[in-house]
Amino acid sequence: MKSIDINCDMGESYGNFKIGNDLELMPFISSCNVACGFHGGDPLTIENTILRAKEFGLAIGAHPSYPDLSGFGRRKMIIDSEELKAIVKYQISALAGMCNSLGAKLKHVKPHGALYNAAASDRNIAWTIGKAMLELDSSLILVGLYGSQMQEIAEELNIKFISEAFIDRAYDKGGKLLSRNVSGAVHTNPEIAAKQALEIVLNGKVDIQDKEVIQIECDTLCIHGDNPAAKEILIHVKESFQNNDVNVRPFSHA
């Protein structure tokens, strides 16, 4: 039986703004990445998300972003390396402290949105995130895009790396995620998303435009909590995995 982790970005609601359906999705996943307050997530939401994640036995990670609350962290920002390192450290520290106070442990770090995309292709940004992690806790695991600069930097810095693929996002020929501005970049059809997830797990492949196929390896699959079809997608994924002897469990956190 094959095993795969499914992770989801959570705790992104802020004040009166509700984002995602965390409680409805938790039964279908094995890891969660909790917003740190810079793109979403207020202190009470963060605390409650950690508590619920503990109840469901989920591996808990920090989900740091650019300081872009009004843009949900999806706008690229030009920030000096030392300042960016401090910004990332601040967010990871907040999550680690909240976890400790609740009897949980922060296990991994997955950058959010524009910071994730920037770190995937920009060596300096990936290095900055890696150094921030090492200065806080060398046991933290970095979750990032397969074959990206994040993976290369993690290997250089001796940081454990978990490669990620996406259930509900389309890819380009280079193996990067299609821009959300492109039609069809986000999968909302549960059958299409579930088919992509199964193809990645069983065959390490993803269908892209023009009937081409690219190779992808991963240790974890991501579903976006703010995708309105997320629950239906996960229901289809669960059924598809069960029919093909694929088990969902957290990636190793030894």
Number of helical (H) and strand (E) elements in the chain, helices listed first: 8, 10
Could you give the angle at the alpha carbon of 133 between the alpha carbons of 96 and 156, nearest 5°? 150
Specify the residue for token string 């993690």.
154
C-alpha 128/C-alpha 32 separation (Å) is 23
Q: What is the mean pLDDT of residues 110-121?
A: 96
Across the chain, mean pLDDT equals: 94
pLDDT tens-digit readout, 179-228: 888 888 899 999 999 999 999 999 999 988 767 888 988 999 999 988 89
C-alpha 234/C-alpha 167 separation (Å) is 9
Amino acid at 12: E
C-alpha 231/C-alpha 168 separation (Å) is 11
> What pLDDT does residue 108 have?
98
Lowest model confidence (mean pLDDT) among 115-119, 145-149, 158-162, 197-201: 145-149
Count of structural domains, the chain = 1
pTM of the model: 0.93
List C-alpha distances in Å: 96 to 47, 50, 108, 122.
Answer: 11, 10, 10, 26
> What pLDDT does residue 252 have?
62
Residue 147: domain span: 2-253
Phi and psi angles of residue 217, each rounded to the nearest 5 degrees, phi first: -115, 145
> What pLDDT does residue 63 have?
98
User: For the domain that residue 53 is a member of, what is the CATH number?
Assistant: 3.20.20.370
pLDDT tens-digit readout, 48-73: 999 999 999 999 999 999 999 999 99
Q: What is the mean pLDDT of residues 118-142?
A: 97
Q: What is the mean pLDDT of residues 89-95?
A: 98
- pLDDT > 50? residue 254: no
- pLDDT > 80? residue 9: yes
